[in-house]
Amino acid sequence: MKSLCVALSVALISLSTVALAQSDAPPVPKSDAQKSFDQLKTLAGEWEGPVTVEPPIPEMSNGKPLHVTMRVTSRGNALVHEMQEAGTPLDAKQYDHPVTMLYLDGDRLNLVHYCDAGNRPRMTGKISPDGKQVEFEFADLSGGNQYGHMYHAVFTLIDANHHTEDWTYMMPGDKPMHAHFNLQRAQ
């Protein structure tokens, strides 16, 4: 029994030495995907601002205010993005309320948009050289496509209290509709 205690003591000392040696190692540089994700997480909070839609459609008047909520969740491993018309109750049965999840998968930044059209487009993101913009390109689609699907997204960070979002929705017949959100941090 005494030899077992000695062996365990030696093993623990060896492990602590390895752990200390690893803590002296230089930090691993962050991937572009991690830099993008870290940048997007700074947007956590409540946002409001006008939306402009091209081409214009009667159901969405240009300049109508939009409310966006972004929050970091899952111990920092996911960012939840929710949008709805400003001033409307949180009632997903009566009002549009799409939810978007952003997360890292290895060296890829992914976006999955849970659309009111009943589908889930997935996009992959890349950060701009200046670090102020994250652009998401369409990867694939789950669910039906009879009403169209979200196809492209760009988040542009202007300052701590202002950012823009540009979303492209592919209508049936592959007709793009572009929405531009000019968002200010809500106080």
Q: Encode pLDDT of 138-184 as tens digits.
A: 999 999 999 999 999 999 999 999 999 999 999 999 999 999 999 99
Give the E-state strand segments of 15-132 in sequence order: 45-54, 64-73, 78-85, 99-105, 108-114, 119-127
In a domain, 5, yes or no: no
What string of DSSP letters covers 80-107? EEEEEETT--S-TTTS---EEEEEEETT
Q: Is residue 124 part of a domain?
A: yes
Segments forming the whole domain that contains residue 51? 30-185
Domain contains 10: no
In tens, the pLDDT along 50-92 reads 999 998 876 666 778 999 999 999 999 999 999 988 877 676 6
- What are the CA-CA distances from residue 111 to residues 4, 71, 100, 163 (Å)? 51, 14, 7, 18
Phi, psi of 74 (to 5 degrees): 55, 50
- Shortest CA distance to 142 belongs to which of 121, 160, 163, 114? 121
pLDDT digits (tens, 9 = 90+) for 5-52: 544 454 444 444 444 445 577 888 889 999 999 999 999 999 999 999
Q: Please report whether residue 11 resides in a domain.
A: no
Look-up: residue for tokens 């602590």? 16
Domains of the chain: total: 1
- End-to-end C-alpha distance for the chain, whole angstroms: 65
Question: pLDDT per residue over 111-141, tens digit each?
Answer: 999 998 999 999 999 999 999 999 999 999 9
Which CATH number characterizes residue 88's domain?
2.40.128.20
**How far apart are the C-alpha atoms of 100 and 119, rounded to whole Å?**
12
